[in-house]
Amino acid sequence: MKARLKKLYDWVDERVQLEDLVEFMGKKYVPVHSHSVWYYFGGVSLFLFIIQVVTGILLLMYYKGSESLAFESIQFLMSKVAFGWLIRSIHSWAANLFILAAMIHMFSVYFTKAYRKPREITWLTGMLMFFLALGFGFSGYLLPWNELAFFATKVGTDIVGVVPLIGKPLMILLRGGEEVTGATLSRFFGLHVAIMPGIFTVFLTIHLLLVQRQGMSEPLGVEANAGEEMRTMPFFPNFLLRDLLLWLIVLNLLAMLAVFFPWELGRKADPFAPAPAGIKPEWYFMFMFQTLKYIPAQVLFIDGEVLGIMLFGIAGLLWMLVPFWDRRSSRGERNRVINYIGIFAVIYIIVFTILGWAS
Partner 1 sequence: MKAMLLAFVGLISHGSLAAASAQVENQCLTCHETLGDKPSELFKHDIHFKKGISCAGCHGGDSTSDDMEVAMNPKAGFIGVPKGDDISRMCAKCHSSAAIMVKQYNSILPRNQIETLWESVHGKLSTTGKERIAQCTTCHDAHGIVSTKDPASPVYPLNVTKTCAKCHSDAAFMRAYNPALPVDQLDKYRTSVHGIRNKEGDVKVAECASCHGSHDIRAASDVKSKVYATNLPVTCASCHANRAYMKGYRLPIDQFGKFSKSVHGKALLEKHDLGAPSCNDCHGNHGAVPPGVESISKVCGICHALNADLFSSSPHKKAFDRRKLPECETCHGYHETVAATDELLGVSPDAVCSRCHSPSKNPKGYLVARTMRQLIDSLEAAESRAAVLVNEAEQKGMEISEARFKLRDVRQARLESRTMVHSFDEEKFRAVIEKGLGVTSAVSAEASDAIHEYYFRRWGLGVATLIITVLAVSVFLLIRRIERRQQQKK
3-state helix, strand, coil in the chain (%, to 5): 70, 5, 25
- Main-chain dihedrals φ then ψ at residue 303, nearest 5 degrees: -65, 135
Picking from 253, 259, 246, 239, the residue whose alpha carbon sits closest to that of residue 89 is: 259
Q: What angle do CA 357, 129, 34 make, to 5 degrees?
A: 80
291 interacts with partner 1 by CB under 8 A: no
Among 256, 273, 302, 347, binds partner 1 (CB under 8 A): 256
Q: How many helices (H) and strands (E) would you count in the chain?
A: 17, 4
Span near partner 1 by CB under 8 A; candidates 2-10, 182-190, 251-259, 318-326: 251-259
Q: Minimal distance in Å, beta carbon 246 to partner 1?
A: 9
Decide: 90 and 77 in contact? Cβ < 8 Å. no
Answer for which of 265, 269, 288, 309 binds partner 1 (CB under 8 A) is: 265
- Between residues 118 and 237, which has the closer beta carbon with respect to partner 1? 237
Give yes or no for a contact between 90 and 54, defined as CB atoms under 8 angstroms apart: no
Contacts with 223 (C-beta within 8 Å, 6 or more apart), sequence order? 230, 332
Buried b or exposed e, range 342-359, using 16+ CB within 10 angstroms: beeeeeebeebbeebeee
Site for partner 1 in 325-354 (CB under 8 A): none
Contact positions with partner 1 (CB under 8 A) in 84-103: 85-86
| Residues 180-219 within binding reach of partner 1 (CB under 8 A) | none
Part of the chain binding partner 1 (CB under 8 A), chosen from 133-141, 184-192, 196-204, 246-254:
246-254
- 259 is a site residue for partner 1 (CB under 8 A): yes
Report in angstroms how near the CB of residue 147 gets to partner 1 at its nearest: 14
Among 262, 304, 316, 342, binds partner 1 (CB under 8 A): 262
Q: Binding of partner 1 at residue 251 (CB under 8 A)? A: yes
Q: CA of 272: how far to CAs of 110, 181, 275, 276, in Å?
A: 45, 11, 9, 12
Q: Which residues touch 299 (CB under 8 Å, ≥6 apart)?
A: 307
d(CA 32, CA 55): 34
The count of chain residues that interact with partner 1, using the rule CB under 8 A, is 23
Q: Which is nearer to partner 1, 103 or 250 (CB)?
A: 250
- Is 326 strand, coil or helix? coil
Choose which of 242, 280, 293, 328 interacts with partner 1 (CB under 8 A).
Answer: 242
Q: State yes or no: residue 78 binds partner 1 (CB under 8 A).
A: yes
The site string for partner 1 over 16-55 (x = CB under 8 A, - otherwise) reads: ----------------------------------------
Report how far residue 18's alpha carbon sits from residue 9's, in angstroms, rounded to the nearest whole number: 9
What residues form DSSP beta bridges with 302? 299
145 near partner 1, judged by CB under 8 A: no
3-state secondary structure of 301: coil
Stretch that binds partner 1, among 150-158, 194-202, 230-238, 277-285 (CB under 8 A): 230-238
Query: Is residue 150 near partner 1 by the rule CB under 8 A?
Result: no
Q: Of 112-120, 232-240, 271-279, 280-288, which segment contacts partner 1 by CB under 8 A?
A: 232-240
Q: Which residues bind partner 1 (CB under 8 A)?
A: 75, 78-79, 85-86, 234, 237-238, 241-242, 244-245, 248-249, 251-252, 255-256, 259-260, 262, 264-265
